[in-house]
A and B are shown apart, each in its own frame.
Chain A
Amino acid sequence: EAGVAQSPRYKIIEKRQSVAFWCNPISGHATLYWYQQILGQGPKLLIQFQNNGVVDDSQLPKDRFSAERLKGVDSTLKIQPAKLEDSAVYLCASSPTDGTSGYNEQFFGPGTRLTVL
């Protein structure tokens, strides 16, 4: 079974530029997550989708970040415009459960390392 795929793996941009990340979850997984992991910290949830609906986006900086999950499968996360403090690894994860309660194993992709200069 293929794992969670993410691209690109690395991205370097200048501040105020735009960037987009792509995630393909494990086939059949209903729930998809985007996390931001700043160096030396744990992952912080940005947004959680169940199928193509948003479950939680309370920590998404909506003035610059946006995310969508069309047709309940692939997802894209966009930053426009980027700031220096957005430098981080962006992790995508998926799970077969609804992600709100009960046992919920998340399967993580390798992440996209973003450097904002």
Chain B
Amino acid sequence: KQEVTQIPAALSVPEGENLVLNCSFTDSAIYNLQWFRQDPGKGLTSLLLIQSSQREQTSGRLNASLDKSSGRSTLYIAASQPGDSATYLCAVNRDYGQNFVFGPGTRLSVLP
């Protein structure tokens, strides 16, 4: 059974720092992996999608990497801003039918 974990559970950093969020999954047979952002009381916003054949994806200050063989993905946020404060979730797609398993999330606070 696929299990997804995220470390750390919570993180508080001063504005301007670069930071790394970690996601681990137990079964390397995945179709893709997606990083989401969730703001309090709101739905999820897709940040980056990495196909199983890819090693990384970049969008602005965000960079996500995927090491399928070791069951790990990282989300790198450069020059963090208070507006980046949110919960970050990773989700693993188990097959083409889009059967997603989510991690518990990392709650990020960026202090001004």
Partners in one complex: no
